[in-house]
Amino acid sequence: MINSELYPVIFKRKSIRKFVKEPLEESIIKKLKGHISKLEPLFEHIKTEVAILGENEIGGIFSIKAPHYIAIYSEEKEGHLLNAGYLLQQLDLFLSKEGVGALWLGMGKPQENLDARNGLKYVITLAFGKADEEVHRNSISEYKRKELDEISSVEGAEKLIEAVRLAPSSTNNQPWYLEGTESEMIIYCKRLSFFKNIFFPLMKKFLPIDMGIALCHLKIAANNFGKEIKFKKEDKPSNKNYEYIITAHIK
């Protein structure tokens, strides 16, 4: 089960973009490694590896400088980006819980020799280190997010969907939409506009990662309220604006 201590972190985490240059104490890195070994995948059958990299191992012109990075590597199978988002969000929240700053870094690029690992392909990075700014938000009003009714028509599950609402996403895109009932939520991803599809090809990769992050928040919230949640890809239709992603069965 995903660590229930992560639930309160959903309500205060934020992206950190200014890091103190010095590396973190070894004790935190050790704790992080312990947490990495206990990560819970969304899809057990997809092989992944999570690596801690040093300050010079991730670059890229739009990247952010940090003393440490976490890179996730994966088999390229259906659902691997959802799975990567789901896994690394557990670490984003863990780091925030420990008072360590973190940032999802879609624009980061690993050095050439770090583009693959044990036959698995690089997916995405989290930058992390001691924050050189306030590490947490002080209230929900500091989140720039859509309203609940803009992301869901499900009734009676507001507490669970609030956790989805606050999830981070690339360019704060918030592509999620939830339909159905409190025991069977049908989860969709908003399609990119024609313009973004053409001019921002990287966003196509980030959308499923965003959705994996949202599923992680949903799972943590469900567990917090003593509910069991199972994600299942079913045969549901997509439409012009929304792509069907997965169904959450909750009891």
Ligand X SMILES: Cc1cc2nc3c(=O)[nH]c(=O)nc-3n(C[C@H](O)[C@H](O)[C@H](O)COP(=O)(O)O)c2cc1C
Min CB(44)–ligand X separation in Å: 22
206 touching ligand X, by CB under 6 A: yes
Q: Decide whether 174 or 250 has the Cβ nearer to ligand X.
A: 174
Per-residue CA distances from 70 to 9, 63, 244 (Å):
19, 14, 29
Which amino acid appears at position 32 of this protein? L
Answer for the pair 23, 68: CB distance below 8 angstroms, yes or no: yes
Min CB(131)–ligand X separation in Å: 12
Burial of 248 (0-12, 13-18, 19+ CB in 10 A): buried
Min CB(198)–ligand X separation in Å: 20
Q: Decide whether 130 or 250 has the Cβ nearer to ligand X.
A: 130
Greatest C-alpha distance within the chain: 50
90 touching ligand X, by CB under 6 A: no
65: tokens are 């400088």
209 touching ligand X, by CB under 6 A: yes
Q: Decide whether 83 or 169 has the Cβ nearer to ligand X.
A: 169
59 touching ligand X, by CB under 6 A: no
168 touching ligand X, by CB under 6 A: yes
Query: Which segments within 11-115 are labelled E, that is strand?
Result: 48-54, 58-59, 68-74, 101-105, 109-110
Q: Decide whether 46 or 250 has the Cβ nearer to ligand X.
A: 46
Q: Decide whether 15 or 236 has the Cβ nearer to ligand X.
A: 15
SS3 content of the chain, % helix, strand, coil (to 5): 35, 25, 40
Residues of the shown chain interacting with ligand X in the complex, contacts defined by CB under 6 A? 14-15, 17, 64, 103-107, 168-172, 206, 209-210, 213
